[in-house]
Amino acid sequence: MSHIPGVRQAQKQKTRQALLDAALELLEGQSLSSLGLREVTRAAGVAPTAFYRHFRSIADLGVALVEEALGSLHPTIRTTVSTTGDGEERIARALELIAGHVDAYPAHVRFIARERHGGVRPVREAIHRQLGLFTAEVGEALAKDPVSAGWSEEDVLMLAQLYVDLMLGTASLLLEAPASEPGARERVSRMAARQMRLIGIGRTHWLDRPGGDR
């Protein structure tokens, strides 16, 4: 199966990608639940009925967009977490990577932030599933750090969740920061850096509470 790409399959993928791209662009100004099938095909330069050759429905296309968007986010998160250096360096590097990703894939970031709590159930579920995987991955990386010695698995996961949420929230804020005033981005970054710093401090003192873990 899938022998050689083939002229046929290649053209199909091309149209499919055109649909995804058109949808993503249209989604900058609205939510997925208001996106129309005809609207998408029109923007993609394709007949309305061609849509059905690729997706069963708009919700289906949305799920495909989740894969695409979080696929591009995956390597970024991985390198963000596994950066070396002391705390302050890691924070700076992480913020650079986030800002870079926002610049490279603004529409993807917007899509995920918007549809994470959006009105289309299957898409919401797909996002939460993927973010769960990210959280687990981040948790794994955190567990390797000597600071995490003696931590329960549940505690590592709650820390990972805190970081993932913060990253997504920061990315969304960076996206909405008006390009008119460049100071806005700086302000968001500095705020996020402080928050990461505070979480880091809480992390290093997590086990010296009265009663220890639990």
Partner DNA sequence: CCTTACGGAGAACAGTTGTTAACTGCATGG
Partner DNA sequence: CCATGCAGTTAACAACTGTTCTCCGTAAGG
Q: What is the DSSP letter of 82?
A: T
Contact 61, 19 (CB under 8 A): yes
Q: How many residues does the chain have?
A: 214
Q: How many residues bind a second copy (CB under 8 A)?
A: 39
> Which option in DNA, a second copy, none does residue 74 bind, with CB closer than 5 to 8 A by kind?
none
Stretch that binds a second copy, among 66-74, 89-97, 99-107, 201-209 (CB under 8 A): 201-209
Whole-angstrom Cα distance, residue 170 to residue 188?
7
Residues 26-45 that bind a second copy (CB under 8 A): 27, 29-34
**Residue 8 interacting with a second copy (CB under 8 A):** no
Token pair, residue 166, equals 């913060």
Whole-angstrom Cα distance, residue 35 to residue 124?
16
> Which option in a second copy, DNA, none does residue 32 bind, with CB closer than 5 to 8 A by kind?
a second copy
**CB nearer DNA, residue 42 or residue 185:** 42
> Which option in DNA, a second copy, none does residue 14 bind, with CB closer than 5 to 8 A by kind?
DNA
First to last CA, the chain: 52
- Helical ranges in 27-86 per DSSP H: 37-44, 58-81
Q: In the Cβ-directed half-sphere of 51, how many Cα atoms lie within 13 Å? A: 23
> Which option in DNA, a second copy, none does residue 101 bind, with CB closer than 5 to 8 A by kind?
none
Residues forming the site for a second copy (CB under 8 A) = 27, 29-34, 113-114, 116-120, 124, 154-155, 157-159, 161-162, 165, 169, 172, 176, 191, 194-195, 198-206, 209
